[in-house]
Amino acid sequence: MNLGFKLYSTLEGFAKVHEVFPTASYALLQGNTDVRIDADFSACKPGPKDMLDAWIAAATVREFVEGRGTEVGGGDGLGTIILPRPLSEPLIKEVLGWPK
């Protein structure tokens, strides 16, 4: 996590940085047939699914930037997380914000 925070602060002045939660992206895109990822699976090796998570993160950013996603959180001062699709109603308000 410290490496991630350092990377984020280094890139902050150079590029727009989004935080993605791949597990949430998988859940929101499950059964969705209009999102395509062209992937070279030779980059994948047995073990952690880092490359697959990177591809879903890239697709999530694309969906968000093109207006099909949503942004949640931000009340804790540590940034927001983007999702590839809006969350379904009813939302649990307490989960999307930071307690006061």
Domain ranges of the chain: 15-30+46-100
pLDDT at position 95 is 58
Give residue-wise pLDDT tens across range 70-97: 998 877 777 789 999 988 775 666 556 6
pLDDT at position 69 is 94
Give residue-wise pLDDT tens across range 15-43: 888 899 999 999 898 888 888 877 777 76
Torsion of CA 69, 73, 77, 82, to 10 degrees: -20
pLDDT at position 13 is 82
Give residue-wise pLDDT tens across range 47-68: 667 788 888 999 999 999 999 9
45-48 contacts at long range (C-beta below 8 A, 24 or more positions apart): none
Query: What token pair was written down for 9?
Result: 């602060």
| Gap between the Cα atoms of 4 and 76, Å rounded | 17
